Homo-oligomer: A and B are copies of this chain.
């Protein structure tokens, strides 16, 4: 049995830079036609020059594949019309991080004073640049995303022409917010369709499943599965695949992030097949994103088959999800 996917897209991806970029970028460009590249480097991407140079470094590494990096800027409330206009089609979205909430987000936004953010958000509305948000407060870890939902809603109401993407949602509350505002969308990761806090800390502590936002309760995962498997038109796949070296995951202060890029499509095929939803996979991994971002991806056909994939123990220094385990689907060919 096979599944054919046309131009799969990963709408939330961390490629990092330098050596790590060299290791992980080809693992995405091999099977995806494009990906939205997060800007949280050190320092973050906040100029056209930095964005173009980063894009160039990505394309140098991925040149053997049909692959387009959709580039993003790190949100600053100082961005004005002329500045953002100058990016033209090079800019696909702007990513807003609350300060200090995840890897390399120390320089992000502190507090959510809509008034202070307004000038830049107005310009983004006018230029049609989507706003991607890592929506977590600094509250109790299990409540951070749900506490952020009113902020999502406040922004969505204040800027009705601004498309706001709730990134890597993990809660029932975020899923429900999709229905209340036309301009709210969401990405969903692979791992949040699969795990709950039980998998991270219910038995032994499993650092390779530790991520931000942290995996939540079973009913939250069920809510995510519902909208993903039905390919709700406002949700799209975004892996949030985030590589960290093994030593940074297995140490006293383990870094947050799950690395799924090389196995994402195979595992998604397995999940959608098991749940009798395979007819919706094309929408979840590509068509919905095309509509939401108004993009036409490069042409790429990925054929998956029900032949097991054995996930390696590591890719360079990076340990993937399902390391050393088997997934019942795999990529057969790519055209």
Chain A interfacial positions (CB closer than 8 Å to B): 140-142, 196-198, 200-208, 210, 214, 217-218, 250-256
Contacts and interface: CB of A to CB of B under 8 A. Distances in A.
B252 A251 contact: no
Contacts of A140: 196-198, 202, 217-218
A210 B217 contact: no
Contacts of A251: 250
A206 B256 CA distance: 11
Of the listed residues A196, A202, A206, the one surrounded by the most CB atoms of chain B closer than 10 A to its CB is A202
B142 A197 contact: yes
Given A142-B142, A196-B140, A252 B201 contact: no
Query: Which 8 pairs from chain A and chain B are nearest by CB?
Result: A204-B253, A205-B254, A141-B202, A205-B210, A141-B198, A205-B207, A141-B197, A250-B251
A204 B254 contact: yes
A200 B210 CA distance: 11
Contacts of A203: 253
A29 B36 CA distance: 59
A256 B256 CA distance: 20
A251 to B, nearest CB: 6
B207 A207 contact: yes
Contact of A250 (B196, B197, B204, B250): B250
Of the listed residues A200, A201, A202, A208, the one surrounded by the most CB atoms of chain B closer than 10 A to its CB is A201
Contact of A205 (B196, B217, B256): B256
B141 A204 contact: no
B256 A204 contact: yes
B201 A214 contact: yes
Contacts of A256: 204-205
Contacts of A255: 204
A203 B256 CA distance: 8
B198 A201 contact: no
A253 B206 contact: yes
A191 to B, nearest CB: 15
A255 B214 CA distance: 20
A197 to B, nearest CB: 6
Nearest to A205: B254
Contact of A252 (B198, B202, B250): B250
Contacts of A253: 203-206
A121 to B, nearest CB: 29
A207 B140 CA distance: 18
B141 A254 contact: no
